[in-house]
Amino acid sequence: MTYDAPLVRHARPADLPRIVELVAEHAAYEKGAPPAPDLEQRLHSLLFEVPDPRLRCLVAELPGGDVVGYATCAPEISTWDGAEYLHMDCLFLRDGHRGLGLGERLTDAVAEQARALGLTEVQWQTPAWNEGAIRFYGRIGAEAKEKLRFAWQVAPATQPEPQASPLPFDAVLCDLDGVIRFYDMSGLEEMERAAGLPHGSTTEIAFAPETDMPLMLGHSGKKEWVEAIAHGLADRVPHERGHALGTALAEAGFSADATVVDLLRRARAHLHVALVTNATPWLDQDLAELGIADLAHTVVSSADVGIVKPDPRIYEIAVERTGVPAERCLFVDDRKENVDAAVALGMAGLHYTGPDDLRAALAPLLGRD
């Protein structure tokens, strides 16, 4: 996307390396300590790995795509007012980009975040020597408060933790679609209505074994799949429209369930996590787009091994790659026939219907966080 003026927008995962650079410049500018070495991962966890993050991060981006400033904010509570306010923790622009109106655009965006949360006040602090910033804050109507800010490092608790009981399993083998990933089919549904087709006509053809099996086995690609869908719809719509419907399905947007991702990331700290999925040949690209390329220790894709669930051989491959005996594995899938096949090999099975199912199954190890 191109544009002709600077843009203030919410940060994306791909912005984090630059944001960490800006944080380091900000710390140096205020004569503070450099950021933690793992700051990028810490920010990723705060911003993108929880369903409703407290922290908001806004960036100022130039028309060429260069991010030159950032602001972060999070809701806090004022005891005296008995109400929440928005705390702007950071506001920074790189040297050479101040005085161009970007600071005001960032503070306007922070104010908009306050309004969106139903808050009526934004608070922040700046060093007493930062005269340029103080003048700027005065121009936008902010009022200074005469208080000193203290930082007190509290040592962690040293009491021994209670002995944990043994885990009920040593690996979680989890499906992708229907458990972690979900598709937005609204565009396809609108196209089907316009074509006079009943809802689900395209997916009925697309996911019929004769249509999607070559794709799941890695024997064909997206182009061939779309053509097969168009061919299957040929008795209902012209080929061009069938091709457009197939393309809409193949290019449908998708997202990851943040709650499930968080549960699996927490599980990963204690045991082996594997994805076992009937997937397309471009699975790696999809996992990267979802931001979960590092979620599992092991990924077993039907398109890579040439076997689809519920064929027992794909489970045997997954068990071998995890290095965990089948009877010490928990298998999670939204399709009962896939779960039944795993149970037949000795695994514990979870027929997934929602995040609470997974949370309950993982409870023995999540209590160790």
Residues 6+ apart with CB under 8 A from 143: none
Burial label, 19 (beta-carbon count in 10 A; 0-12, 13-18, 19+): buried
pLDDT at 98: 86
| Mean predicted confidence (pLDDT) in 54-66 | 94
Residue 36 pLDDT more than 80?
yes
Per-residue burial over 232-243, b = 16 or more CB atoms within 10 Å of its CB, e = otherwise = bbeeebeeebbb
| Mean predicted confidence (pLDDT) in 287-297 | 96
Residue 153 pLDDT more than 70?
yes
pLDDT at 1: 45
Give the N- to C-terminal CA distance of the chain in Å, as an integer.
Answer: 41
Residue 160 pLDDT more than 80?
no
Q: Among residues of the chain, what percentage have pLDDT more than 70? A: 96
pLDDT level of residue 133 (50, 70, 90 thresholds) = confident
| Mean predicted confidence (pLDDT) in 69-80 | 95
pLDDT at 82: 93
Burial label, 193 (beta-carbon count in 10 A; 0-12, 13-18, 19+): exposed
pLDDT level of residue 10 (50, 70, 90 thresholds) = very high
Torsional class of 174: left (φ above 0), alpha (ψ -120 to 50), beta (otherwise): beta
Residue 369 pLDDT more than 60?
no
- Per-residue pLDDT tens for 183-217? 999 999 999 999 999 999 999 999 999 999 999 99
Residue 162 pLDDT more than 90?
no
pLDDT at 165: 52
Residues 6+ apart with CB under 8 A from 278: 177, 216, 302, 308, 309
| Mean predicted confidence (pLDDT) in 18-31 | 94
pTM: 0.55
- Per-residue pLDDT tens for 217-234? 999 999 999 999 999 999
pLDDT level of residue 166 (50, 70, 90 thresholds) = confident
Q: Tell me how many degrees the CA angle 86-87-91 measures, rounded to the nearest 5.
A: 120
Residue 59 pLDDT more than 90?
yes
Residue 161 pLDDT more than 70?
no
| Mean predicted confidence (pLDDT) in 31-50 | 92
Per-residue burial over 248-267, b = 16 or more CB atoms within 10 Å of its CB, e = otherwise = bbbeeeeebbbebbbbbbbb
Average model confidence (pLDDT) across the chain: 92
Q: Regarding predicted confidence, which is higher, 4 or 21? A: 21
- Per-residue pLDDT tens for 81-110? 999 999 999 999 998 898 888 999 999 999
| Mean predicted confidence (pLDDT) in 69-76 | 96
pLDDT at 128: 86
Residues 6+ apart with CB under 8 A from 233: 197, 201, 202, 205, 241, 242, 245, 246
CA distances 112 to 92, 105, 107, Å, are: 18, 10, 9
Residue 163 pLDDT more than 60?
no
pLDDT at 144: 85
